Structure 1
Amino acid sequence: MVAQLETPTLNSDRRLLPAIEGLVQVFTSTHRSFFTTVMAQALRIAGQGTPVLVVQFLKGGIKQGHEHPMRLGQHLDWIRCDLPRCIDTPHLDETEVQSLLRLWQHTQKVVYEGKYSLVVLDELSLAINFGLIPQSEVLDFLEKRPSHVDIILAGPEMPQALLDVADQITEIRRSDRP
């Protein structure tokens, strides 16, 4: 019996491996102290050579805007709003609103360009609930992102519409056990 394998050439229309669809993951909780879990996952994936972007929408205080990302290793960029404080209320002045919207626009741009394979959007749920980023824009962004990009949405009080489009939902709860 003779078996013959077909080997695709570089100019072939056939792919060597099937395309893998990116996932939308949600990490949510009633409290706000679970970012470490999400960041550990981002660091682990970046350490394996995958380009990762972490965006913290409501954090500020260190003049880090998207023009000055913090680089953790070779493959992880970490950006925040270019604000002197953290956002903890929906009542922002015009400068703060513009900084947040510039960060959101930059995030969409680099994701659409396919620069990153994993994008963590921290506190996005609060930005939506505060009325700072329209939920409809986020849903449109998730639908239009490159198909290979994994997105992690993190934050308390995640809107139901985002839970409905998630491939995986992790709800972190506090235990009453000692």
Structure 2
Amino acid sequence: MSEDHVNAEHAEAMRALKAEREELMKTKTLEKGLLLVHTGDGKGKSSAGFGMVARSLGWGMQVGVVQFIKGKWKTGERLFFSRFPDQVRYRVMGEGFTWDTQDRERDVAAAKAAWEESKAMIADPTLDFVLLDEINIALRYDYLDIDEVVAVLTARPNDKHVCLTGRNAKPQLLEIADLVTEMTLVKHPFEQGFKAQRGVEF
């Protein structure tokens, strides 16, 4: 088969695919604020959430970020988004990883304070996108009332995008979400003895 014949077949296949896609896109007419959940045991949940924060900023949108777990330690995302104080309301509310604090009462208090801030951001009409980073971990340990969280998310303003990250997302969240992505661990440098590194893990 000649190269010209292969190219002609490819062009014909792409024309058919384009026509099929155009017909499909005609059926996609809805637009509203979405509830997105990034979960799973693989890396990339927070990274994906912060990627959408950056994308929102590119469109001139106003964004709120609440970090439930990571605590006060310095991260690349925090350093970067602090450069956009007019567009990003960034709140670090966590006390650190649960195995570091070893104090459930303190963790519960921090999670509840973070949730109060989250509710305010979700209700704020000036914010277009809200990232609740690692809220799933707080819910996993029952630091928050899942029924209240579901009620607030379900009643959010119709045009408000909200993204939740963290492993072990509750089934109730998966049920009400518009998009659920599960990050799957295939291979990780930590297993090979590498420590967390700037620009990759934090």
Classify the TM-score, shorter chain: 0.7 to 0.9
Do residues 146 (structure 1) and 157 (structure 2) align? Answer: yes
CA distance, structure 1, for counterparts of residue 144 and residue 101 of structure 2: 11
1:135–1:21 CA distance, 2 compared to 1 (3 A): same
* Counterparts of 2:101 and 2:135, CA distance in 1: 13
Report the TM-score, using the length of structure 1 for normalisation. Answer: 0.73
* Residue of structure 1 in register with 2:61 after alignment: 50
When the two chains are superposed, the root-mean-square deviation of aligned CA atoms in Å is: 2.7
The answer to whether 1:114 aligns with 2:128 is no
Q: Mark the structure with the bigger radius of gyration.
A: 2
Q: Cα gap change, 1:82/1:117 in structure 2, threshold over 3 Å: closer, same or farther? A: same
Q: Does 1:61 align with 2:61?
A: no
Range that drifts further, 104-113 or 126-135: 104-113
Give, in angstroms, the shift of residue 61 of structure 1: 2.4
Give 3-state SS (helix, strand or coil) of 2:38's partner: strand
1:130 lines up with 2:141 in the alignment: yes
1:75 correspondence with 2:87 = yes
What is the total number of aligned residue pairs between the two structures? Answer: 152
Q: In 2, Cα distance between the equivalents of 1:82 and 1:153?
A: 15
CA deviations on 1:53-91 (whole Å, 9 max, x unpaired) are 12111121259xxxxxx73423122211164x4434795
Match of 2:35 in 1: 24
If each structure's strand is expressed as a fraction of its own residues, which one has the higher value? 1
Percent identical residues: 24
Q: For 1:13-50, what per-residue CA distance to the aligned partner results, in whole angstroms no more than 9, with x for missing partners? A: xxxxx994211111112145532222122112112210
Structure 2: gaps spanning 5 or more residues? 1-28, 75-80, 188-202
Residue of 159, 168, 173 corresponding to 1:162? 173
- Once the 2 structures are TM-superposed, how far is the Cα of residue 122 of structure 1 from its aligned partner? 1.2
Amino acid at match of 2:70: K
> Any idea what SS the aligned residue of 2:70 has?
coil
Deviation at 1:140, TM superposition (A): 0.6
CA–CA separation in structure 1 for the residues paired with 2:100 and 2:138: 9
Residue 23 of structure 2 aligns with which residue?
none
TM-score (norm 2): 0.65
Residue 163 (structure 1) shift: 0.5
